[in-house]
Amino acid sequence: MPPLAVDPIDVRILSRLQNDARMSNVDLAKAVHLSPSPCLARVKRLEQSGLIKRYVSLLDPVALGLTVSVFIQVRLERQVESALEIFEREMAARPEVMECYLMTGDSDYLLRVLVPDVQALERFIVDFLSRIPGVGNIKSSFALKQVKYKTALPLPDARPKRRATRAAKRPTT
- Cβ-contact 72, 122 below 8 angstroms: no
Q: Residues 56-82: what's their mean pLDDT?
A: 97
Residue of 170, 156, 173, 166 lying closest to 6 (CA atoms) = 156
The domains of the chain, with CATH numbers, are 8-48 (1.10.10.10), 68-142 (3.30.70.920)
Residues whose CB falls within 8 Å of the CB of residue 145, separated by 6 or more in sequence, listed in order: none
Instruction: Please give the Cα distance from 97 to 15 (Å, whole number).
Output: 28
Q: What is the pTM of this model?
A: 0.84
**For 152-162, what is each residue's pLDDT tens digit?**
999 987 555 56
37-67: pLDDT as tens digits: 999 999 999 999 999 999 999 999 999 999 9
Asked if residues 32 and 13 have their Cβ atoms less than 8 Å apart, the reply is yes
